[in-house]
Structure 1
Amino acid sequence: MIWATIALLVFIFQIATILLLEFRQPSKAVAWLFILFILPVIGFVMYYFLAKEYRTRRKIRQCGIVPEEMRLTAFRRCKLVHRPSDMHNGEFAHQERLFRLLQNSTLSPITGCNQTEILTDGKATFGAILQAMEGARHHIHLEYYTIRHDEIGEKFKELMIRKARAGVEVRLIYDGIGSYELSESYLKELHQAGIRTECFLTPRLAFFEKRMNYRNHRKIVVVDGIVGFVGGINIGDEYLGRDRRLGFWRDTHLKVEGDAVYFLQEVFMKDWWFTAKEKLSDPAYLPEHNCLSDEQVQIVSSGPNSASEEILECIFAALSVAKTRIYIATPYFIPDDSLLMALRIAALSGVDVRIIIPQVADTKVVLAASLSFVEELLTAGVRIFRYQKGFIHAKVVLVDHLLASVGTANLDLRSFYSNFELNALLFDVKPMERLEADFMRDLDDSREVTLSEFQRRPLRRKAGQVLARMLAPLL
């Protein structure tokens, strides 16, 4: 009897702990309680090491230091956009509240002297990045979630080594979870050439410091502080369509030259300080540049070191003011309640809301969780499409002709609340027209899901989606 009482008290303590620490995210608390009821002891151990955030999050917020003089240099050298009337996009004349939010909720300003190029697959992206690296004279900074020692990974390694031996500073950050298969021999060759590499939270460190839940999902390349890249493509052959199961890989990446590169660089510098404990304070990392075009771009980053969920806030605010269209492409669609409500209200208000998700996914549980949201969105008038040509990994949001978002963040809870992410907001007609054209081509390669068809799915599939939905906050 006494052992039963002790077990009950321990169980109550575990429940109380989860409720206390996750009170800000009730859906996450419910998911962990579900696991706890299935695995009473193991579930709590998993929670303690994988998800407990209250102290770790504060600790991580202390990371990411950029010398103040470097930040001031970036601001001095930028053409900043201060008022809605300064925006090229006439729609912002009536969106002062959105403009103020974009200014106030992020650490990076809207910059006005940029030239961008949309890259829509691995071949184009790798070609552009390798070409930029080939022309490097001072430094190459790379930060990736996944780096593989395969054919394209070998090309990157060889070029990094060659440039380092030519006197170019080369630094590389890779995520400890996303790149756990990266071989020691790969890194050893880089080190022997004088290349600095840093692992962002090694699996062992992440486990013992209870940071397993935090992943650096960013993909950043900065060359000489003048050319930058951000988007959905990591370094791996699968991004060239060489994965036999997934086949053709559809993705979106962004090349940017100009002011916005300063703020890509700033994010890299923060992450470098966190991993290497080295402050990069040489003004040569933020050189003056020729203004090639006047496109307006804003870099938005978020993560456990952020005061709030900046990327989520920006996307939610944009969706909330949509008048004509919302186009979304995402490989993982697990919206929080605010985004789900914004999408439903937009559709019910007559906005053309279309979402493309994969037909075939690299993670079946996440796909099941994504599909669990489909019926309620279809009921509200949202149009859902499933990509048929291969695997769609693009992370794109288009709102009216107001703005577009391209970057590393999926429309899921992990990207919004746990991962280190990075998106670029675009405000000019040219990149938005290109993204719209790409989206329309993707629609041609997709099949629309109808409500009647979806409601006829087998009972076992419905049950699987319900279960995945319960676990969605943890995926």
Structure 2
Amino acid sequence: MDLPHLLWNSVPPWAGAALFTVDLVIRLLALGTIPHNRRPSAAWGWLLVIFFFPILGGLVFLVLGRADLPEARKAKQREAAQRVDAHGPGAEAQEVRDMPDWLAETARLNQHNGAFPVAGGHRIEVLDDYDASLAAMAEAIRAAEHYVHFEFYIAVADPTTEPVVAALEEAHARGVTVRVLVDHLGSAGYPGYQDLVRRLGAAGIDWRRMLPVRPWRGEYQRPDLRNHRKILVVDGEVAFTGSQNVIDRSYNKAKNKRKGLQWIGMTVRLQGPAVGHLDALFATDWYCETDDMILDADADADAEASAGDPSARSPKASAPGHLACQVLPSGPGLAQESNQQLFNHLFASARERITVCSPYFVPDDSMYNTLRTAVGRGVAVHLYMGETSNHALTHHAQRSFYEMLIRDGIRIFLYQAPWVLHSKFVLIDDDAAVVGSSNMDIRSFVLDHEVNLLVSGRDFVGRLDELVDDYRQHSHELELADWLARPWYQKYLDNTARLTSALQ
């Protein structure tokens, strides 16, 4: 008798019956529970996994199947938002001029979904050079007089980020209040993270991990729910946000260095009322990790200062420019998929052109149909993505859409390797732009905390057009015939990865 038969015959009859029963119960429970309040595509994705691998799939679903925060965490977010509203952060909104009616409608949709009010009076500078962006942040921190609020998905101490880390240490040493938030799992896996937290601790800087996953301390939520925001606010007068993390452009990974991978990011430096709104968003995230509502402390300090030296009051963002801007936070516990609603509304409103730059573009049916409908209306749709990526599964899922998109008349430009295009922005006609941390995939729409800026202003759109022109010079347009000729095994990987794109 061969070994498999011998092993099978040694299994007690009751064990086989028990295994069959567990298998059947898992499948039946999955059918009745997974579709609840879930997209049909996501439900089918999870059911497919569980029906192929009932026990393993069921365990994975228990860990990753709930795209929501614990009730206690959501309650803290709601409380923080209410206290932010009570303080009304930022300068008085300047008059919004020359905003098209359709864009004002978009701003109303955003505010309904939890965005701050749109305001005029902004000056916004595009920083597309990686090292120069870090240098600008360091310069702003060195000029701080009152406080520095630093919140990044990935932040480490390495030779490239040394100017920023040193500036934080120096600011704290001269009496500036420095508060630092870094995403726990987002940062912890990168060389230089431990060096950063060691230096912050040694300097006495107040810092916290965002969304920590430490069950032994009672800190747990779905581990892939992350805070993907990038925010730096100095004195309530100047802020930075965008797609760039505070890490070397190789991300300090040996495999990236072997391949010569270098990240290309984009950050904006802004002044105006939205600085106060980004500061309020930082205050919300800080409260969720510390139970310390720093806006309360600022209000108390202002009240005390009003009886003495007015110059001692905490600064408020001025209005040095003319651009209209709106801050839109999104993520678990907030309005459902508010950033995706923003993008779909913009795509449906476009009359001439849509330009999307995103490292990860995995649209669901609603976004795909909105874009193909835009092409049918005569709108030119251009997508800029990287030829290579550091996330294999998402990259292959993204590639599975290329054929459909090209056949629909959407032009795809792939930034040539070994550069990894990581900039994230959308341009609509000559009127509007969205810049921020959000990708175009289910992770950014459902699982991650993101922040985006909706900006109205032709000169700002024109500046980003210049950046797009530069990207095009380093990209090649994907042709359908060339794409269809790729090897069969790549097609297989792409199609298989696509099955995971809807999971949430």
TM-score by length of 1: 0.91
One-letter amino acid matched to 1:374: Y
- Give the corresponding residue for 2:136: 128
One-letter amino acid matched to 2:323: E
Q: Give the one of 433, 450, 474 matched to 1:404.
A: 433
Q: Distance in 1 between matches of 2:144 and 2:219?
A: 39
Contact kept in structure 1, 2:276 and 2:317, CA below 8 Å? no
Contact kept in structure 2, 1:122 and 1:240, CA below 8 Å? no
Contact kept in structure 2, 1:330 and 1:395, CA below 8 Å? yes
Deviation per CA, 1:30-84: give whole Å up to 9, x if none.
2222332343212211111123246x35444223243756535436732255xxx
Q: Distance in 2 between matches of 1:96 and 1:404?
A: 13
One-letter amino acid matched to 2:409: G
Higher mean C-alpha deviation, range 10-19 or range 196-205: 10-19
One-letter amino acid matched to 2:136: A
Deviation per CA, 1:405-442: give whole Å up to 9, x if none.
11000011100111000011110112110001111211
1:144 CA drift (Å) = 0.7
One-letter amino acid matched to 2:436: G
Q: Distance in 2 between matches of 1:469 and 1:412?
A: 12
- Give the corresponding residue for 1:2: 17
Q: Distance in 1 between matches of 2:219 and 2:271?
A: 40
Q: Distance in 1 between matches of 2:81 and 2:46?
A: 40
- Give the corresponding residue for 2:13: none
- Verify: 1:454 aligned to 2:483, yes or no: yes
- Verify: 1:201 aligned to 2:215, yes or no: no
Contact kept in structure 2, 1:30 and 1:470, CA below 8 Å? no
Q: Distance in 1 between matches of 2:346 and 2:466?
A: 20
Unaligned ranges ≥5, structure 2:
1-15, 303-312
Matches within 5 A, 1:53-92: 53=67, 56=69, 58-64=71-77, 65-66=79-80, 71-74=85-88, 77-80=91-94, 86-89=96-99, 92=100
Deviation per CA, 1:384-412: give whole Å up to 9, x if none.
11111611000010011231011000011
Moved over 6 A (4+): 239-242
Q: Give the one of 262, 270, 276 matched to 1:256.
A: 270
Contact kept in structure 2, 1:51 and 1:213, CA below 8 Å? no
Contact kept in structure 2, 1:262 and 1:286, CA below 8 Å? no
Structure-2 change in CA distance of 1:417 and 1:246 (3 Å): farther
Deviation per CA, 1:5-38: give whole Å up to 9, x if none.
41343232442355244x4222222222233234
Structure-2 change in CA distance of 1:259 and 1:286 (3 Å): farther
Q: Distance in 1 between matches of 2:23 and 2:476?
A: 51
Contact kept in structure 2, 1:18 and 1:32, CA below 8 Å? no
Q: Distance in 1 between matches of 2:82 and 2:61?
A: 37
Structure-2 change in CA distance of 1:354 and 1:112 (3 Å): same
- Give the corresponding residue for 2:451: 422
- Give the corresponding residue for 1:432: 461
- Verify: 1:177 aligned to 2:185, yes or no: yes
Unaligned ranges ≥5, structure 1:
none
- Verify: 1:367 aligned to 2:390, yes or no: no
1:156 CA drift (Å) = 2.5
Structure with higher Rg: it is: 2
One-letter amino acid matched to 1:420: H
Higher mean C-alpha deviation, range 288-297 or range 236-245: 236-245
- Give the corresponding residue for 1:12: 27
- Verify: 1:216 aligned to 2:227, yes or no: yes
One-letter amino acid matched to 1:220: I
Contact kept in structure 1, 2:413 and 2:475, CA below 8 Å? yes
Contact kept in structure 2, 1:78 and 1:112, CA below 8 Å? no
Q: Give the one of 317, 337, 342 matched to 2:370.
A: 342
Q: Give the one of 161, 164, 167 matched to 1:159.
A: 167
One-letter amino acid matched to 2:22: A
Contact kept in structure 2, 1:73 and 1:286, CA below 8 Å? no
- Give the corresponding residue for 1:271: 285
Any idea what SS the aligned residue of 2:162 has? Answer: helix
- Verify: 1:40 aligned to 2:54, yes or no: yes
Deviation per CA, 1:339-373: give whole Å up to 9, x if none.
11111111122111000111111112211111111
Q: Distance in 2 between matches of 1:240 and 1:461?
A: 26
Contact kept in structure 2, 1:121 and 1:249, CA below 8 Å? no
- Give the corresponding residue for 2:7: none
One-letter amino acid matched to 1:361: S
Q: RMSD across aligned C-alpha pairs, in angstroms? A: 2.5
Any idea what SS the aligned residue of 1:237 has? Answer: coil
Contact kept in structure 2, 1:229 and 1:254, CA below 8 Å? yes
Q: Give the one of 105, 120, 130 matched to 1:112.
A: 120
Q: Distance in 2 between matches of 1:440 and 1:67?
A: 40
Deviation per CA, 1:265-285: give whole Å up to 9, x if none.
111000000011111121369
| Length, aligned pairs only | 467
One-letter amino acid matched to 1:61: K
Q: Distance in 2 between matches of 1:17 and 1:122?
A: 49
Contact kept in structure 2, 1:303 and 1:420, CA below 8 Å? yes
- Give the corresponding residue for 2:416: 388
Q: Distance in 1 between matches of 2:49 and 2:370?
A: 29
- Give the corresponding residue for 2:200: 190
- Give the corresponding residue for 1:443: 472
